[in-house]
Copies of this chain bind each other. A is one copy, B any other.
Amino acid sequence: MNYPVVGRTFRLGILGGGQLGRMLVQAAIPYDVELVVMDPQKRCPAAEVCHDFVQGSFALKEDVLSFAKGLDAITVEIENVSIEALEELEAQGVTVHPSSAVLKTIRDKGLQKQFFQKHKIATLPFHLVANREELLSRVERGEIAVPFVQKTRTGGYDGQGVQVIFEKSHIGKAFDTPSVIEPLCDIAQEISVIVARGVDGATATYDPIEMVFDPEANLIDYLIYPAPISDHLSKQCIALAESAAEALGIVGILAVELFVEKDGTLWINEVAPRPHNSGHQTIEASMTSQYEQHLRCVLELPLGDVDIKQPSMMLNLVADGSGVFKIEGLREVLALPGVKVHLYGKHECRPNRKMGHVTIMHKDHIKALETVERIRSTLRITV
């Protein structure tokens, strides 16, 4: 790896230009790396702040190959990219982190589940179905029990592509697409563990984070960092997450979402091979943010330390309408101590679109929860 380059600036390409890309660009400024972004939307969040922007489809082989010209390395901020293109680039000797093989396994939730099963990494039992008809007939034959959770194998994001079917009579609402079917289990907590793994195999793992979901939108509502769990459970979560990163051999950030059942059983729900919504608070709250850490992995630099500077919570800012929006309550929220607002620069809102987030640093958990509630009732993205 050739960073830093003498006499010119290192050029790193990011496939995808959403908020994760935007925060990666921000983290790269002190490294003097030029971030070049490709996204189909020319007004995407990262386009506004990156060094160079290329409009194109990260899912199209030819677009990715053409994007890669003149870049020193490539990474992603989304999984749904052209694996074929990345394989070809790797064969040419281009640095791609995470690798095409890791992305191929992770971006298909069916392959991801099979991978965990093969590597004896605890994940809920599952069935793969090709379409609604197969699902229906396997339910009829008693192979698949109702209720169940259906997840589309590919293309799901931000709570899209996941639903619970509670009754047999509702099976007509099932997605008619290749899916993973899992039993509905009795979840006590959802935990995220963010692991960074370097090119030398070294790992640095952030303390577990509790994700509190909005049950309607199926989006993270807010986060608690570090998660209020026992040391024993924390260690179990970290060990499980690290085993996944190790088995995958990922270079970069792996965000590992875990279910904790009421009886304490731990399962990997799913993983993401990139900075993750559950790690936004690391910008202010950790010695090294997940964005800086991902960059260190991609540049093949030593990992940064992941000690907590400040316990914190993180609240997603989602819109409640469609179109051109206004931000209400910003001034009041900016006046609160320990509160950092991040706006993503999106030009239009849609219901449940993530428009920004707020990090709340604190010394007192109860007061921080009150601040979260206060921000929720004050700061609104509205049309």
The yes or no answer to A26 lying at the interface (CB within 8 A) is yes
Contact A32:B343 (CB < 8 A) given known A4-B327, A310-B309, A326-B6: yes
- B49 lies within 8 A of A29 (CB): yes
- Indicate with 1 or 0, residue by residue over A15-52, a CB within 8 angstroms of chain B CB atoms: 00000001101100111101000000000000011010
Report, as a range, how many residues of chain A touch the other chain: 35 or more
Closest beta carbon of chain B to A324's beta carbon, Å? 5
A49 neighbours in B (Cβ, 8 Å): 29, 49, 51
**Chain A, range 346-362, C-beta contacts under 8 Å to B:** 356, 361
Considering only CB atoms, which chain B residue lies closest to A50 in the complex? Answer: B49
Chain B residues contacting A345 (CB-CB under 8 Å) are: 9, 32
Contacts of A305 in B (CB 8 A): 337-338
Stretch of A105-113, A143-151, A181-189, A328-336 contacting B (4+ beta carbons < 8 Å): A328-336
Minimum Cβ distance to chain B for residue A127 (Å): 43
Q: A9 CA to B43 CA in the complex, in Å?
A: 12
CB of A48 within 8 A of CB of B34, answer: yes
Binds B, one of A72-80, A218-226, A258-266, A296-304: A296-304
Are A342 and B9 interface neighbours, CB within 8 A?
A: no
CB neighbours (8 Å) of A343 from chain B are 4, 30-32
Complex interface: chain B residues within 8 A of A121 (CB)? none
Tell me the complex Cα distance, A22–B30, Å: 9
Contact in complex: B287, A302 (CB < 8 Å): no
Query: Does A325 touch B at the CB level, under 8 Å?
Result: yes
Q: Flag whether A369 is at the interface (Cβ < 8 A).
A: no
A245 to B341, alpha carbons, bound, how many Å?
Answer: 27
> How near does chain B come to A315, taking the closest CB pair, in angstroms?
14
Is the Cβ of A51 less than 8 Å from the Cβ of B48? yes
Which residues from B are CB-within-8-Å of A324? 6-7
Q: Are A334 and B304 in contact (CB under 8 A)?
A: yes
Evaluate whether A361 and B287 lie within 8 angstroms (CB atoms) in the complex, with A324-B6, A330-B4, A337-B305 already known: yes
A residues whose Cβ falls under 8 Å from a Cβ of B: 4, 6-7, 9, 22-23, 25-26, 29-32, 34, 48-49, 51, 287, 296, 301-302, 304-305, 307, 309-310, 324-327, 330-331, 334-335, 337-338, 340-345, 356, 361
A-B contact pairs, 10 of them (CB 8 A): A7-B324, A9-B345, A30-B340, A49-B51, A287-B338, A287-B361, A301-B334, A302-B334, A305-B338, A309-B361
